[in-house]
Structure 1
Amino acid sequence: MSANQRKPVLVAGLGRFGGSVARTLQRMGHEVLGTDVAADRVQEYADDLTQAVEADCTDMTCLKQLGAGDFEAAVVGIGSDIEASVLTVLALSDMGITNVWAKATNDKHARILERTGATHVVFPEERMGERVAHLLNERLLDFIDFGDDFAIARLTAPEPIIGVPLVTSECRKKHNVTVVGVKREGEDFIHAVPDTLIMPSDVLVVSGKIDKIEAFAALGD
């Protein structure tokens, strides 16, 4: 989908989470209507978004004035004010928006959001906490948890597989991880094949169960 085909998105709440989502969507080519009850936040994002408006999205009349019913997707980034978060999700759902993402601060908050119309609930603080914990392993450079204990990670090549091709090191058979690709300094990313020779400075992209990836990263320690 090209940039000019990307659907507009309404973002309610321009705090750290909502503001980050809004700016990223804008960079991706979406038209973004950002709203917040705080005038200073609206001013902060005025030059970064298609439109930034001081508005209370718990109010149906306000949403109608904003044309919220024309949006197919919305993000509710309100976290600290749980009542406002829930009422905003409910109002957006009542406006007929079928794709509503909402930030939750705990499990109880998440259950209420789901029952009031949120189609996707995220826990940004919790997910970041998990990610930081995994990255404390010095060999892991990046880490994405896909659920069901499956992840993709970027890591420095473990010493035992350096200097040999992947077909010899048998990472999948011996360590239950798949080497997806290799990034070498000054060179383009390459997709891994059996004959790929792993060099000392290589950074690997691997997939597999989280515990297997962590054990693989620690080989030779």
Structure 2
Amino acid sequence: MRLKKTHWRAIKAIIFFVSLWPLAQLVIDGVNDGLGANPVETMHLTLGRWALRFLCLTLALTPLRRLSGQRWPLRFRRMMGLFAFFYASLHLLVFLWLDIEFSWHYFRQEVTETPYLLLGLATYCLLLPLALTSSVNMQKRLGRYWKTVHKLIYPAAVLALLHYFMLVKSDLRQPLIYAAVIFILLVTRIQPKRNA
């Protein structure tokens, strides 16, 4: 897709603001008392789902590049990855602030007694270095090690999925949809290089 730099900047700006819409919708619902009987749980689950969705979008861009034969999908990979981290950070913040009120005692208690929280924290710990090394400058500084670091997205996606499965417990339809999507996206990554 041959577009001028100004056009790409405009497209990126539009996608950036569209990606903020889930947060804006949460704020609007909160102001209008539309978060249901348990607002904290609604925020927590919604932010977590959006983190997982952006993680799936990030993983989808390389297969899309392979299928299309175009390089333009890779222009959005960093942005989608950072939005995955952004929503994961808000997801974690809701837990730390609104669930346990930044209590270290409750934090230790909840993490040791609730396996899905441990998986969530492990996922976040894998996403953190990806976000910190996402800039072009860090890519240059890390050289060939940059790709190695950014392969952490694969275990992060699997752990995020397991975290979601354990969190939902009863109705597994949505987690199963995400599982199918992530499975397909990960399988496309292990295709022979000649198909790239």
TM-score, normalising length from structure 2?
A: 0.24
The structure, 1 or 2, with the larger RCO (C-alpha pairs under 8 Å, 6+ apart) is 2
Higher strand share: 1
- Computing the radius of gyration from Cα coordinates, the structure with the larger value is 1
TM-score, normalising length from structure 1?
A: 0.22
Higher helix share: 2
